[in-house]
Chain A
Amino acid sequence: MKNIWIVATNTFREAVRDRVLYNLVFFALLMMGAAIVVGQISIGIEQTVIVSLGLAAISVIGLFIAVFIGVGLVSKEMDKRTLYALLAKPLKRWEFLLGKYAGLVMTLAVNTAAMAVGLYAALWTVKQPLVESDAYVFVAVYLILLKLALIVALAMLFSCFTTPFLAILFTGGMYVAGVFAYDLRTIQGINLSATIVKLVRGISYLLPNFQNFNVTGAVAHGRGVPGSLVWHVTVYTVVYCAVVLAGASAVFARRNLK
């Protein structure tokens, strides 16, 4: 366990020095710009626009970091051979994998938290005072973080057995498929046989349902999110990530490094 922590802290240090967190500056500027522009539009929907825009930006920026850096976590080490000396240490391969994962998730957590603060600042400029229901924005950000954690796990899984380019493609594809998983579940049989419809429905349960993490619709209108939903989605993420990372560990354990 300690080994995982050692690798994780180093990964975090790498992300910081890699200037990954500079996106926060970009985000802050975006939010400030949005706040100014929104003030010019109509009164009454500023909250909706800022929250929707802010959450979307956090989600998209986080997505890019999760996919590109997530894939690079393992690929870069294999390509650049930095991994060789490391694996000669008393460190198991799966400990290495989990450590890299934890490091990136920590980075993303810091990132999204900082962006959430930025979002609040923007919200505060258009709406004072902030009320209790505005705290739900944090819940939305937390769910986005869960989503990113799942995407990083998928990125790592794919990067363990294909080239970085394909891994990015597969992860992106999985993301798109996952976004539409809910729709696939209720697919109407347009020229499709009943068995295919059943099969598609079944698969839709096992795909990562990314809509689970999306509560923008409620939060942007100041509506709340039930605690039980948050709890269930958290458990869902933990279980799903465990499955994916177990798969990644299994693949990586026997991978020949050139």
Chain B
Amino acid sequence: MLSHDTLARLRELHPAVAVELEKTIQLAREATDPGLLELCSSYVMAALRQQNWSPPAGPLSDRESAFIEFTEQFAASVSTLSDEQVARLQAFASADEIYAFVNALYVADMLGRLELVTRRVL
């Protein structure tokens, strides 16, 4: 989620925060389906870089499609996410799994942004 260089720069500037950030990254990976998080993270990074994205391993399953659709809206604007987009996830995951995924996606989404912005302004 963060490159070695970015983490090293953050450790230099804010060592105490960097320690907590690294713990959060590790737990985000453990809290949800790691393959699904990696797939959705790859979508987020492409969107933030304004690049086209295609699934790395062929056509998406219905479950993956639902989570990618949610991720697309989450990365673009959470304020316009719809009840239906969350309801669609409920066909494939429990409330606990969705809650954990959304928190892990927050970490992936914001750290992607942190990576791209700090690389340019620090």
The yes or no verdict on A and B being binding partners is no
Question: Taking beta carbons and an 8 Å cutoff, which residues of A are in contact with B?
Answer: none
Question: Taking beta carbons and an 8 Å cutoff, which residues of B are in contact with A?
Answer: none
